[in-house]
Amino acid sequence: DQQVKQNSPSLSVQEGRISILNCDYTNSMFDYFLWYKKYPAEGPTFLISISSIKDKNEDGRFTVFLNKSAKHLSLHIVPSQPGDSAVYFCADSNAGGTSYGKLTFGQGTILTVHP
């Protein structure tokens, strides 16, 4: 079974600087990784995904990097804004198999961006 680990419970960054959120995984069999952001009292919101056949995907201020040899991915937010303060989850989607609707989530990292 896939395990997805976010080893940093929290991260504090100054506004305008780069935020780097990290995620490690155990099983090389996956189709996509996704990043979600969650504010209190709201459901998670999809940010960006990366396919297993790529090593980078960009969308505006958000870039995800995938290092398959290290089984590691990271989300870069540049520049960070106070409104980015939230809990960030990485999630594995083995959509190619029978994992319909199933995402395996990491424990989350609380990002705080200070003005």
Partner 1 sequence: KAGVTQTPRYLIKTRGQQVTLSCSPISGHRSVSWYQQTPGQGLQFLFEYFSETQRNKGNFPGRFSGRQFSNSRSEMNVSTLELGDSALYLCASSAGGSGANVLTFGAGSRLTVL
H or E element: which one contains 109?
strand 109-114
Scanning 9-17, 43-51, 60-68, 75-83 for contacts with partner 1 by CB under 8 A, the matching segment is 43-51
Between the CA of residue 58 and those of 30, 47, 97, what are the distances in Å? Answer: 20, 11, 26
Under rule CB under 8 A, residue 16 binds partner 1 = no
Instruction: Show the CA angle centred on residue 59, arms to residues 63 and 47, nearest 5°.
Output: 80
* Residues numbered 47-106 forming contacts with partner 1, rule: CB under 8 A: 49, 51, 89, 91, 93, 95-96, 98-106
DSSP three-state, residue 84 = helix
Under rule CB under 8 A, residue 23 binds partner 1 = no
Under rule CB under 8 A, residue 42 binds partner 1 = yes
Backbone angles phi, psi at 68, to 5 degrees: -70, -35
| Cβ proximity to partner 1, 32 vs 80, nearer residue | 32
Q: Contact 111/15 with Cβ under 8 angstroms?
A: no
| Cβ proximity to partner 1, 80 vs 94, nearer residue | 94
Interaction site with partner 1 (CB under 8 A): 31-32, 34, 36, 41-46, 49, 51, 89, 91, 93, 95-96, 98-108
